[in-house]
Amino acid sequence: MQQPGLFDSSPIPARNHSTSVMIAPTFESFRDAAREMLRLNRSPDQIWWVETDEAEPPGSASTAQARVSAQFVKIAQFVACHASPDRWTLLYRVLWRLTRGEPYLLALSGDPDVARMRRYEKMVRRDLHKMKAFVRFRQVSSVAGERFVAWFEPDHAIVKLAGDFFVRRFTNMRFSVLTPVGCVHWEGEGQLVFTQGLSAAVKLADSLDDLWKAYYENIFNPARVKVDAMRSEMPQKYWKNLPEAQLIPALLLAADARTDQMIQAAPQVSVLNCGSPPEGYQTVLQRSVQDDSRPALARIADATRACRACELWEPASQAVPGEGTPKARIMLVGEAPGDQEDLLGRPFVGPAGQLLDTLLAELNATREMLYLTNAVKHFKFRVTARRRLHQRPQAREVAACRNWLLQEIEVVNPQRIVCLGATAAAAVLGHPIRLRDVPPLGFELQGRQVMPTIHPAAVLRAADPSSKRAHLRADLQQALLGLI
């Protein structure tokens, strides 16, 4: 029987008999929901996975069982921590195939779903290794005595995976590891406590004291303030030595207002995930773009992450939005992200990007002086036995993605746009061109100079790279002239 609260299809219009499955962003919550979906015989394309903090706790929804190998469960526990919003769809698709006639699927390393699941697992394991190796504790005075505090920025939600390791290593220490994706606390005995991540603003803290203060402000719950108890636990004469104590008077003053806000705040769905996109996804994009409380480029970046306007989003790991100086005078537009860009979520970080950096350095420029983006924001590829091979996006995919590029151009407002390759030039100009027909000064477009040239990848692929390199270098030099 369908469980109220856990499987709630009402907020998002159904399409193809799709069901919105509300889960907490944990493996356990996914496991319970997936079991129930298998029992109901819901195929992967009928499910729209929605992450929310309002999902029922694991174990409370279904007692349905599905027999899958321990190997899948082990991999899935890592994949569940991956930052990609499509991980639940991917896991359920693999689970579905394993339980519907493909029991040996995991042995097929060339299968796109298996390859992707393995890649996610590997990325999470690598992140976990970095966290274990690079976390550095510092001692701070806290309201509850001395403790060791560390700040770390993992790429994936690995704090729960790492918790036991830190306890084993630092059993006798009282510690907190603070991260943007979750925090873990140990009091020297008892249980590990996990709390929500810290906002990105905390990263600006100058010192550990600032960091600790920011954390304290974050966890301060105005609805649970007991001023007398606080004063008896922590006599006011000691407050001056404690970094977070300086915040308490202001936090107490604001407590009533914040309590009201907390009561009025509606439960929020935190992430819309993949699967068959419901018809309402356009609304999500619209809201993201229109929310003017955040910088415009950040809103565009978020919107590309939620975009489903063409099919490229699905096999890709993530969208790769543009980056660089928000008011750069020169914008560089490439074709689409490559393998490395797809994994790291940043443009021009693969071999072609490294060549671009080298050429810019030779011309006394850096990428930080520019704004770099791509005509298409998701990686298009085909899978071979060993790697993912880049494929050129088709005209309809470039057209679908052009909306985001034009918005970036409008916000950055560059004087010159350097198009790296014919695809980028077509996206910027709105019509196809041949690179050999480009006039010496490029094109004029709404008061901007558009300068198409070859893509750095064309240099790397060339039979005679030195002449192509010289060609690209000369064009970049001309593009930088007078503006850098």
Footprint on this chain of ligand SF4 (rule: CB under 6 A): 304, 307-310, 312-313, 319, 376-378, 397, 400-401, 404
Q: What is the torsional sign of CA 465, 470, 476, 479?
A: negative
Distance separating alpha carbons of residues 359 and 367, to the nearest angstrom: 10
Q: How far apart are CA 80 and CA 33, in angstroms?
A: 13
Using the structure block, give the residue that is written with the tokens 């036991």: 164
- 378 vs 390, which CB is nearer to ligand SF4? 378
Q: Running DSSP on this structure, what letter comes out for residue 24?
A: -
Instruction: Kindly state the smallest distance separating residue 403's Cβ from ligand SF4, in Å.
Output: 7
H or E element: which one contains 48?
strand 47-52
Query: Least separation, in Å, of the C-beta of 408 and ligand SF4?
Result: 12
Q: Which is nearer to ligand SF4, 115 or 310 (CB)?
A: 310
Give 312 or 424: the residue with its C-beta nearer to ligand SF4. 312
Q: Where are the beta strands (DSSP E) in 175-329?
A: 175-179, 182-186, 193-195, 269-275, 323-324
- Least Å distance between CB 470 and ligand SF4? 32
Q: Report d(CA 298, CA 315) in Å as an integer.
A: 23
Owner of token pair 């009533």: 256
In the bound state with ligand SF4, the residue whose beta carbon lies nearer, of 255 and 399, is 399
Q: Residue 258 has which token pair?
A: 């914040």
**Local structure of 94: helix, strand or coil:** helix
- Cα distance between residue 165 and residue 132, in whole Å: 8
Q: Which two tokens stand for residue 251?
A: 């936090």
E runs forming strands in 216-355:
269-275, 323-324, 330-334
Smallest distance, Å, CB 336 to ligand SF4? Answer: 8
At closest approach, how far in Å is the CB of 304 from ligand SF4?
4
Nearest approach, Cβ of residue 341 and ligand SF4 (Å): 13
Question: Facing residues of 20 across strands?
Answer: 48
Residue number with CB closer to ligand SF4 (105 or 400): 400
Q: How far is the CB of 451 from ligand SF4 (least distance, A)?
A: 23
- Residues 260 and 286: their CA atoms lie apart, in Å, by 29
* Residue placing its CB nearer to ligand SF4 in the complex, 319 or 412: 319
- C-beta closer to ligand SF4: residue 38 or 428: 428
